[in-house]
């Protein structure tokens, strides 16, 4: 494994001593050249997991190893500097992820300018190369982020992260704020870059349908817990956990005939708040198949079929 989290925990403290169990003992590794899709609804802790993994949040428990080396629980500026050439990230919000006062050139060149301390002018050729590699054009260099569409901005964010040629790229919901047609562009671009650069990727998203096109493996999170993990196609077409099944079934299919024949499978209610969780199955409250034991004991993630890990008592 290139990077491996073991029983990673991230709790946020609230007033009154209560705690938000944002990430609760999640173990997940990413091998070299592998793309892992991490899927969950809002409040599932998927973004917190990604940020805790690479040091943007302090860890509350557990450990993360990168190439076998233990990463610090709390990051300082020096730690980020050390890992800058190895791990990079692209962000969800294409509006907030680019400094509105900087030109596209300054934004993309930032990583090299920080690392090598070279003047910006010397970096121009390389920036143009990356700009064109993400499908933009050299005459965009002097423009400002607000002049671009969401998809174009997201591509600028990709160029900024990849210009330092990292080995691992964390994609934090890079497509959630985009139109479906633009999502496909970004997914395809990331897929191409991953293949040509031999990147490892953690691709965080809130639904599985798009992620399956880029992922080798997929992981599903619910309320801070990892509930299912397996090869992408296998997991998508044969989901085992009741939540994964409902999540996939909820997604509308662009096929009117199929939709007209749909048997409505709705999950009632919404994802509960992850404050002071008790030790039971996180999904028990909404699960149509829940039994008494689901409310008593938290199921462990275990291999139920070769390569398929599920946290459910019923399997």
Site for other proteins in 101-140 (CB under 8 A): 101-102, 107, 110-111, 114-115, 135-137, 140
3-state SS string for 91-159 = CCCCCCCCCCCCCHHHHHHHHHHHHHCCCHHHHHHHHHHHHHHCCCCHHHCCCCHHHCCHHHHHHHHHH
Q: Rounded to the nearest 10 degrees, what angle do helices 104-116 and 124-133 cross at?
A: 120
In angstroms, what is the minimal distance from the CB of 315 to other proteins? 21
In angstroms, what is the minimal distance from the CB of 302 to other proteins? 25
**Interface pick for other proteins out of 209, 280, 295, 315 (rule CB under 8 A):** 209
Which secondary-structure segment (H or E) carries 242? helix 242-250
Does the protein bind other proteins through residue 314 (CB under 8 A)?
no
**Interface pick for other proteins out of 32, 253, 296, 297 (rule CB under 8 A):** 253
Give, as ranges, the residues between 32 and 71 that touch other proteins (CB under 8 A). 41-42, 54, 56
User: Residue for token digits 């497509």?
Assistant: 175
Nearest to other proteins of 116, 296 (CB atom): 116
Q: Are 75 and 58 in contact (CB under 8 A)?
A: yes
Q: Which residues pair with 272 in a beta bridge?
A: none
Does the protein bind other proteins through residue 149 (CB under 8 A)?
yes
Nearest to other proteins of 50, 299 (CB atom): 50
**Interface pick for other proteins out of 31, 120, 246, 277 (rule CB under 8 A):** 246
Which secondary-structure segment (H or E) carries 48? helix 46-53
Q: Rounded to the nearest 10 degrees, what angle do helices 124-133 and 150-162 cross at?
A: 130
**Interface pick for other proteins out of 16, 17, 68, 252 (rule CB under 8 A):** 252
In angstroms, what is the minimal distance from the CB of 299 to other proteins? 20
User: How many C-beta neighbours within 10 Å does residue 314 have?
Assistant: 15
Residue count, binding to other proteins (CB under 8 A): 82
Residues 67-106: x/- map of binding to other proteins (CB under 8 A)? ----------x--xxx-x--xxx-xxx--xxxxxxx----
Of 9-17, 121-129, 241-249, 300-308, which part binds other proteins (CB under 8 A)?
Answer: 241-249
Distance CA 35, CA 31 (A): 8
Q: Are 87 and 161 in contact (CB under 8 A)?
A: no
In angstroms, what is the minimal distance from the CB of 93 to other proteins? 6
**Interface pick for other proteins out of 185, 197, 280, 315 (rule CB under 8 A):** 185
3-state secondary structure of 193: helix
Residues 162-181: x/- map of binding to other proteins (CB under 8 A)? --x--------------xxx
Does the protein bind other proteins through residue 241 (CB under 8 A)?
no
Distance CA 148, CA 145 (A): 6
DSSP 268: -
Does the protein bind other proteins through residue 254 (CB under 8 A)?
yes
**Interface pick for other proteins out of 190, 235, 247, 311 (rule CB under 8 A):** 247
Give, as ranges, the residues between 286 and 305 that touch other proteins (CB under 8 A). none
DSSP 54: T
**Interface pick for other proteins out of 30, 271, 284, 309 (rule CB under 8 A):** 271
């Amino acid at each position: 494994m290139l990077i491996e989290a073991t029983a990673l925990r991230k709790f946020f403290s609230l007033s009154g001593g209560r705690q938000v169990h944002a990430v609760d003992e999640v173990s997940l590794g990413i091998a070299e050249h592998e793309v892992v899709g991490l899927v969950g609804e809002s409040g599932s802790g998927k973004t917190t997991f990604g940020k805790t993994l690479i040091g943007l949040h302090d860890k509350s428990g557990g450990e993360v190893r990168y190439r076998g080396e233990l990463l610090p629980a709390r990051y300082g500026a020096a730690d980020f500097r050390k890992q800058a050439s190895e791990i990079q990230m692209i962000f969800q919000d294409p509006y907030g992820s680019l400094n509105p006062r900087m030109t596209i050139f300054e934004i993309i060149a930032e990583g090299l300018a920080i690392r090598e301390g070279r003047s910006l002018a010397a970096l121009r050729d390389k920036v143009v190369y990356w700009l064109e590699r993400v499908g933009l054009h050299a005459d965009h260099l002097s423009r400002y982020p607000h002049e671009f569409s969401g998809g174009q901005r997201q591509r600028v964010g990709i160029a900024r992260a990849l210009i330092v040629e990292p080995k691992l790229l964390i994609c934090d919901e890079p497509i959630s704020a985009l139109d479906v047609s633009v999502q496909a562009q970004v997914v395809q671009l990331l897929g191409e870059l991953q293949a040509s650069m031999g990147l490892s990727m953690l691709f965080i998203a809130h639904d599985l349908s798009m992620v399956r096109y880029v992922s080798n493996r997929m992981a599903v999170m619910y309320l801070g817990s990892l509930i299912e993990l397996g090869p992408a196609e296998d997991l998508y077409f044969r989901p085992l956990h009741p939540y994964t099944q409902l999540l996939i079934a909820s997604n509308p299919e662009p096929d009117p005939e199929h939709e007209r024949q749909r048997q409505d499978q709705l999950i009632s209610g919404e994802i509960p708040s992850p404050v002071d969780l008790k030790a039971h199955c996180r999904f028990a409250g909404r699960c149509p198949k829940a039994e008494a034991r689901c409310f008593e004991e938290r199921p462990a993630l275990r291999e139920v079929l070769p390569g398929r890990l599920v946290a459910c008592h019923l399997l």
